[in-house]
Chain A
Amino acid sequence: MPGVYITADEFMHDAESASKDRGMPGLRTVALPAHKYYRARATLDELRPVVAAQFAEIVGHLTRPLSDEEARPAQIQPASQEENFRISGSDFLDAFEKVNEAFLDSRWSDALPIVPPTPELVKAMLAGTTRSPRDVIGQVAPKNGIATVEKIAINAVMAGAKPEYFPVILAAMEGFTRKTYDLTHVQASTGSFTPIVMIDGPIAQELNVNSGIGMLGHGWRANSTIGRALRLSLLNLGQTWPQVNDMALTGRIAAYTFYTFAEDTARSPWEPYNVSRGFKPGDSTVTVATSWNPTTYGGGAVTPWTGQGVIDQMVERIKSGNVRWPHAQTYFLVFIPDCAVDLANHGYTRRSLQEYLYEKTRVPYENLPKDVLFGQGSEEDFIRASVADGRIRPDRAPIFLDNLKPGGRIPVVQSPDDFHIVVAGGSPGYNLFFNYPGTNHANETVKITGATMTKAGR
C-alpha cells in the first residue's frame, strides 16, 4: 500500500534509523518544522498554514513514480566492524585520552571517562561467570543488537565494574531483553524513562550494594558501576544515541547509572520482594523496571510521619490522576525500613498493603475522564477496547466490565500485583514513589546464576 510518513524535523534521524531497522530504507517521509508544528498543533486554525506549506510535498510523495532504488533497495549487509584494535599514545595518559576520544567519537561511551576494554580486562571480567563468552543473552532494542556474554563484559569493563558484579549485570540484561519487557519504549521514547535496577537476596550484601542512606547517589562502586555497565550495554548493543534514535526529551535524571540499589531484606518486616514473586528464600535476583522520575513521601529527617499517613498520601496522589490506561500502569513503591515496620506493626503484610492500595485507589465511574489522553474517545471507551483486545487480561476483565456503570469503582491497575512493594532506604529516610505509565509491560525479575566469585548467585 503506497503511503507517506509525516514527522517533525527533529525526529528525521529517528525516522530514517527506524525505517532502515525495519528493512524499508526508501520510506518516503515528510518533515514538519518542529518549531512551527509543536506550537501550532493545538488548534486546527493554527495548523492550516503548517499543513499548507507541506501539502505539495505530501501529494508529491504519494504520486511521484518510484526510483529503482526505492522499488528494489539493495539488501543491507551486516556492518563489518573491527573487533580488536590498537590505540597508542606517547605515554599512558596520552593513550588513555585517545581511547576516550575514539570511543566517544564512535558513540560507544556515555562521555564520562571509560576504562579501556583491553582483552586482558575483558578476560578478567568473564572470569566472574561460568557462562561462555559466546552465549547469547538476548537482543537489544531498538536495533536488536546481539548481546553476547562477551559483549556485555566489554561494556562492564568500560563502566569500571568488578568481575564479581558481572553475574548481576548479565541477569539484568536478560531481564531487559525479554520479549515481555518493552525496551524499545524505554530506550527511545520522548518520555525520558529511566530503568530501575533492584538487587535482592544475599548477593547484595556480598557485593556491598547500598540500600541505605544515599542509595541512589554516588560513592558505592557496586551501585554506580552495575548501573553504568547496563547503561553502556544498552547504548552499545541497542545502538542508541541522543537526538538520533534516543529521543528522551530531557535525557534521564539518572542517565549514567540508572536507579540501582538493593532491597534491605535484613530490616524489612516482610519476606524479600523476590520471594513474593515466586523465587525461593535465599535466591539472589535482579529486578529491572522502568519509571518516570520518582517523588518522595514521608518527612525525611524533618517532618514526623506515620506509615498510614504515607500510604494514604500515595493513594491520594494516584487517585488524583483518575484512571489512565489501567492495562499498563505499574507502581514501584520503595518503603524505608522504619515505615515498613510501622505498617507491619499496624497489621499490613506486603499482600494486604497491595490490596489496600488497589482498593483505595479505585476511582468512581462518574469520575472517569470523558476524554482520554490521545483523543480517541472516553476513558470508558479505552478500557472497553483494552478488554476487547486483551491488553486487560481476561482474568481481570470482569472487574472492569462489572464496574463500568454508575456506582462502579474502576481499578487504576490490572491487579494488586501491579503495586510492587520494596523495602530500602535510610533511617531517617524518604519513601520513593516510582510510576511507569508505560505502553506495555516493563518489570522483570531474573535469578542471578553462574557466579564464581561470590557465595550467592552460583
Chain B
Amino acid sequence: MNPRGEIPPPPTVGINPRPADLAGKKIVLIDNGKYGASNFLEVLGEMLKQRYPSATIVRYPKPAAQTITALPDWYPTVKQQGDLFVFGVGD
C-alpha cells in the first residue's frame, strides 16, 4: 500500500508584471533576519543605488526568529514599502 498521503494543491497564482527599468523605483530589500542575507542586501543596495541613482532603497527586514508561516499579518505590509522587492534568505 502507498504510504504517501494526498496533498491538496494550493490555488496557483502568477507573479506580478515587471517594470521595464528600475530608475525612479522604490526597491524594498528584505532579509530574513540573518547576518548573511543582511550583509548581502547591504552590498546589493549600494550597487543598485550606484547603477540607478534615482531609485530609492528601503531596508525592511523580516521580523527575526519567526517562521514564514507565523507571519500572516506581516507579508501584506511589504507592498506598502515600495514598488519592487528583493528577498534574501541566506542565513
Residues of A within 8 A of B (CB): 1-8, 11, 15, 21-28, 32, 37-38, 41-44, 47-48, 50-52, 55, 58-59, 62-66, 70-79, 81-85, 103, 108, 117-119, 122, 140-141, 143-148, 151, 154-155, 158, 182, 184-185, 190, 232, 236-237, 239, 325, 328, 372-376, 382, 385, 389, 391, 439-440
Residues A372 and B64 in contact, CB atoms below 8 Å apart: yes
The chain B residues found within 8 Å of chain A, CB to CB, are 1-22, 27-28, 33-40, 42-44, 47-48, 51, 61, 63-70, 78-79, 83-91
Q: State which of A22, A44, A158, A391 has its C-beta within 8 Å of the C-beta of B66.
A: A391
A48-B43, A143-B7, A146-B6 given; 11 more Cβ-contact pairs under 8 Å: A3-B28, A3-B86, A6-B37, A6-B40, A6-B89, A51-B43, A78-B6, A84-B2, A144-B8, A145-B6, A158-B3
How far is it, in angstroms, between the C-alpha of A108 and the C-alpha of B4 when the chains are bound? 7
Could you say which of B2, B20, B70, B78 contacts A82, with CB atoms under 8 Å apart?
B2
A-B contact pairs, 20 of them (CB 8 A): A1-B83, A1-B85, A2-B18, A11-B89, A32-B40, A51-B43, A51-B47, A55-B47, A63-B19, A75-B11, A117-B3, A119-B1, A122-B1, A151-B5, A325-B65, A374-B35, A374-B64, A376-B61, A376-B63, A389-B63
A41 touching B89, Cβ below 8 Å = no
Given A52-B47, A439-B70, A85 contacting B15 (CB threshold 8 A): no
CA–CA, A41 to B90, complex, Å? 9
Residues of B within 8 A of A146 (CB): 5-8
Q: Would you give the shortest CB distance from B18 to chain A, in whole angstroms?
A: 5
Given A1-B79, A6-B90, A55-B44, the answer on whether A66 and B15 have CB atoms closer than 8 Å is yes
Known: A4-B86, A50-B40, A154-B2. A78 touches B9 (CB 8 A): yes
Q: Which B residues lie within 8 Å of A385 (CB)? A: 63
Report the nearest A residue to B32, measured CB to CB: A374
Chain A residue numbers with a CB within 8 Å of B88 are 6-7
Within 8 Å by CB of A47, from B3, B27, B40, B65, lies: B40
Judge whether B87 and A26 touch: CB under 8 Å.
no
Q: Does the CB pair A140–B61 fall under 8 Å?
A: no
Chain B residues in 8 Å Cβ range of A237: 4-5
Q: Select the residue from B42, B78, B83, B88 with max chain A CB neighbours within 10 A.
A: B88
Q: Which residues of B contact A79 (CB under 8 A)?
A: 7
How far, in angstroms, from A148 to B5 measured CA to CA in the complex?
Answer: 8
